[in-house]
Chain A
Amino acid sequence: MTRSAGRSVPRSDARAKVTGEAKYAVDASRPEMLHATIVRSDRAHALIKDIDTAEAAAIPGVSAVITSDDLDGLFPRFGHIVADHPILAIDRVRYYGEPVAMVLAASRHTAADAARLVRVSYEGLPEVMSIAAALEEGAPLLHEERYDHGDESFGEAMSDDWSPSNIAHEVCLEWGDVDAAFTDATEIVETTTHYPMLYAYAMEPYNALATFDEGALEVITTAQHPYQVREDLARIFDLPLAAVRVTSPFLGGGYGSKSYTKVEPLAAVGAWFSRRPVKLALDVEEAIYTTRADSATVTVKSAFGADGMLTARDFQLDLDSGAYADNGPLVLAKAVHRCFGPYRIPNLRVRGRSFYTNTTPASSYRGFGAPQGNLAGELNMDQAAERLGIDPGEIRRRNLLLPGEEVLPGARPLDADLPADLEMVLESLDSSRPRGPLHGIGFGASASDAGAFPVSTATIKVHADGSVTLLTGSTEMGQGSQTALAQIAATELGVPLGSVRVLQSDTAITPYERTTGASRTTTLTGLAIQRACADALEKMMAMVSESREVPVEDVKTSDGVISIPGGGDLTFAEAVQDWFGSRAGEVTGVGIVRKADSTAMLPPFWEIGMVGVEVSVDAETGYVTVDHLATVGDVGYAINPALVEGQDLGAATQGLGAALFEQLIYDGPQPLNPNVVDYRVPRSRDVPRTIDTMLAERRDGVGPYGAKGSGEGALNPIGGAVAAAVGRAIGRWPDRLPLTPEYVWRLMHMETEAE
């Protein structure tokens, strides 16, 4: 039988998705369901003086208008790291679009009509709309109280000495003697860049359907991490975890933006209050008011020897994290870890700060702090190459970490071959070929401490007919986990792929999975599945040993068959049925991954980004066209190569969006472009002319068959690569993204100070 792993088998969810049969959270409904509409703040920072709900409540069809005053007996906030986010604003709003009240009605239209009649009186407070404003002497404070902390294992960014400040979090990293290295340097190169505020635009906006039934809460939602949402909901309603069931069907995009709790508490509060199922489905504008990604200003100073070797790097990262913490502290910590490499740096200092501002809360988005810092770090390498008169490929060759070298003290050594990956990109770009005017190439590298904290469990059930169910708490959000995980199970058990069915992300049924993020699924969930399969096989061999009365050490298995001495081969179905004595029963295999054994050392793997682009710039308009895109998926082993290449092209395309078009713009207290007309994402005409998605399979990962994760890597260095390519094309280095025609045109026509 052909082994399933390693082949580009078609997606198992493809048929359902091309016929319209695939069910997403937004498609769920219940009898007697009410529809919720949120009344949102039209102020960025204000005290709530009064909420008049009478007129709205009087509309026929309206069941209730709920404000924070109605949450008596509940824990009124959520947040997995810092429980600072009120479900409904308590006395004060901190950003434009913050939920203030919720209307429940028999129809969506009635709820929306009534929501417009809720009158909220505010007393304005001075607003903090930027990092600069947050730092001003005497700046208004967004938060003056210290909130409960969530899961302590997220606590690496938390500190004990606390006083109210708009600096939400600080993370520092230092080794060696940075100041001495700068004193001794041959060349010091300083670069400051600005990374834009982004919106992930998962096409299915956040939505949830909540039901209270016999004291238990059930929520069908768009959450990537249903187990994390369950924690927040259990705390809000003081319920045991067993009484909270969170289900994530197919997600219409995630990209990190559906990590952690978003709209679930609102829907659940509605159901708790009304004793009816409540559906809350946001539109895109509301989704933009729910979560965005951190913008960042990053300054890096690098010291080089005459040989082009880095001797020190000093980074200052400032992230604008918005009004509430959400996953911001972890994004900051990761930004600090991911900005300086993947180079050999004898002396390093990174100072990272994230700031509270009166803007939409920022949280995870694909790459998770990496793109913000990488833009500065990689552009800095290009500028250093220019200054030192060294080819930009060569300066990287000299400084890139080698396999097995230390990236972070105490962390897993580098499990990738970066110089080899670089050569693949340079060859794809034909990098030594001279380019005409207004043409340029750029390339870059990144290494992310990926995989997150390793807690994954998986269950395999071998049924009485030999068919197999794989249960996993990992969510299918487009990345293809349903397919790739089934390929691992089929390979381990030696059964045809078609006999494995996968059930995902239902906290009442599937086994625990900490998150679906940080590119962890193939590696960590994959390992748990391998172990679950081994457990199931071992149990079946023991059963055959008992029912056929042969010593267990004489029982063998391969290719979906259990064999005993004397040539008696049993199918799985026969093994199960023999032991149970009828056409009944099943065998359950359990697999566990935790911070132990091969995943004792963090990160579980380094996720590599190695990309290159060639661009051309229109002389008249400054419009940037991407002529060539090259990515290397350094994934150790591709369980399904087509899925990996799909992840890389998708990630790179999102990176191109941030590099060329995307930015959320605040005009005073209000976002100027909270829609997909004015927030421009890549479209079919923006596809690069040539696309070269390459794979590097060196079996150097900790996952099944040497696999490592993918999904973020190809995004992380894109911004820097495009900025470098445009810089070479026009002869001036950009210092910000996106590289809109207007910005590029201005750069082209700017008189430099020296001129």
Chain B
Amino acid sequence: MTIRTVVNGRPVTEPIPVRWTLAEFVRDRLGLTGTKLSCGMQVCGVCTVLVDGRPVSACSYLAVDVDGCEVTTIEGLADAGSLHPIQAAFVDHFALQCGFCTPGFIMMAKSLLDENPRPTRKDVVDYLDGNICRCTGYQPIIDAIVDASERMTP
């Protein structure tokens, strides 16, 4: 079927196989390969994107379900070449190593800060429970998100 959606602010009308996941749609059709895939069962958070501002696991979310919705992927965060404050904080805090989980964490952090601009450290930890990072030991990621919230709402 054909879906009409807005991806990172750009209107998109595409015919797609109905069995496609949102991850296949953004990666294979739109070439937005920043969204990664790992566990394939909604527990690692690597594939997190926002649909109408809400975080979803693109590995298991059907592409047809974004018909009429707005989708934001990691590629939609930086504004005209300047990093989003969450992205900048991740750079400054060494909050990534291999980087494979990073887009998912950043999208999840954006969702958190949209909901709750000044989360406590515990709020951050709890909100990230569905995202796995195998490299960093999480602490730098938590530091980065706390710092980003301070940068965004001084």
Contact between chains at A646 and B33 (CB < 8 Å): no
Q: Known interface pairs A18-B83, A20-B75, A252-B98. Does A649 touch B139 (Cβ–Cβ under 8 Å)?
A: yes
Given contacts A201-B134, A677-B43, contact A685 B129 (CB under 8 A): yes
Chain B residues contacting A255 (CB-CB under 8 Å) are: 134
B48 to chain A, nearest CB (A): 12
**A650 to B40, Cβ gap below 8 A?**
no
Given contacts A252-B100, A479-B97, contact A283 B40 (CB under 8 A): yes
**Given known contacts A253-B134, A650-B136, A684-B138, is B40 in contact with A19 (CB within 8 Å)?**
no
Which residues of chain A are within 8 angstroms of B17 by Cβ–Cβ distance?
109
Q: Does A676 contact B (CB under 8 A)?
A: yes
**Stretch in B50-58, B63-71, B101-109 with 4+ CB within 8 Å of A:** B101-109
Whether B87 contacts A478 by the Cβ 8 Å rule is no
Q: Determine if B83 and A15 form an interchain contact, defined as CB atoms under 8 angstroms apart.
A: yes
Given A17-B96, A681-B132, A646:B140 Cβ within 8 A: yes
Count residues of chain B with CB under 8 A from any CB of chain A.
Answer: 52
Which residues of chain A (239-257) have a CB below 8 Å from chain B?
250-255
Among B33, B39, B126, B136, point to the contact of A649 (Cβ < 8 A): B136
B12: which A residues are within 8 A, CB to CB? none
Question: Which one of B34, B38, B90 contacts A204 once the chains associate, using CB atoms below 8 Å?
Answer: B38
Give per-residue flags for B19-42: 1 if the beta carbon is below 8 A from chain A beta carbons, else 0.
100000001000011111111110
Q: Pick the contact of B98: A251, A642, A686 (CB < 8 A).
A: A251
Contact of A478 among B33, B99, B103, B141 (CB under 8 A): B99
Which residues of chain B come closer than 8 Å to A90, judged between CB atoms?
none
**B87, chain A: closest CB distance, angstroms:** 4
Nearest-CB residue, chain B, relative to A285: B40
- Say yes or no: is B6 at the interface (Cβ < 8 Å to chain A): no
Residues of B within 8 A of A250 (CB): 98-99
CA distance A343 to B50 in the complex (A): 54
List A2-36 residues whose CB lies under 8 Å from chain B: 8, 10-11, 13-24, 26-27
Check A480 for interface membership: any CB of B closer than 8 A.
yes
Chain A interface mostly: loop
Q: Which of B36, B94, B103, B126 contacts A643 (CB 8 A)?
A: B94
In the assembled complex, the CB of A414 is this many whole angstroms from the nearest CB of chain B, namely: 28
**Cα distance, A539 to B138, chains bound together (Å):** 46
| A48 in the interface (beta carbon within 8 A) | no
Residue among B19, B98, B132 making CB contact with A683, cutoff 8 Å: B132
Task: Give the docked Cα–Cα distance between A171 and B151 (Å).
Answer: 57
Tell me if B92 counts as interface (CB < 8 A to partner A): yes
Contact B99 A684, beta carbon cutoff 8 Å: no
Residues of B68-91 at the interface with A, using a CB-CB cut-off of 8 Å, are 73-75, 77-78, 83, 87, 90-91
Q: For the complex, is A117 an interface residue (Cβ under 8 Å from B)?
A: no
A-side contacts of B74, CB under 8 Å: 18-20
Chain B interface secondary structure, helix, strand, loop or mixed?
A: loop
**Range of interface residues on A (Cβ < 8 Å):** 35 or more
Instruction: Tell whether, in the assembled complex, residue A20 and residue B137 are in contact, meaning their CB atoms are under 8 Å apart.
Output: no
Cβ of B131 < 8 Å from any Cβ of A? Answer: yes
**Chain A nearest CB, measured from B2 CB (Å):** 19
- Cα distance A681–B44 in the bound complex, in angstroms: 10
Whole-angstrom distance between the Cβ of A714 and the nearest chain B Cβ: 10
Taking the complex as formed, is B142 at the interface, i.e. its CB lies under 8 A from any CB of chain A?
yes
Bound form: Cα–Cα A18–B19 in Å: 29
Q: Are B90 and A14 in contact (CB under 8 A)?
A: yes
Q: Indicate if the CB atoms of B44 and A652 lie closer than 8 Å.
A: no
Pair A687/B137 contact, Cβ less than 8 Å: yes
Inside 8 A of B101's CB, which chain A residues have their CB?
203
CA distance in complex: A250, B99 (Å): 9
B152 interfacial contact with A, CB 8 Å: no
8 interchain pairs, CB-CB under 8 A: A10-B92, A21-B75, A250-B98, A650-B137, A652-B137, A675-B41, A683-B128, A684-B142
Q: Chain A residues in contact with chain B, CB under 8 A? A: 8, 10-11, 13-24, 26-27, 109, 200-205, 250-255, 283-284, 477-480, 642-643, 646, 649-650, 652-654, 675-677, 681-687, 691
What 7 new A-B contacts, CB under 8 Å, besides A109-B19, A252-B36, A478-B99? A8-B94, A19-B77, A19-B87, A27-B33, A204-B36, A254-B98, A676-B41
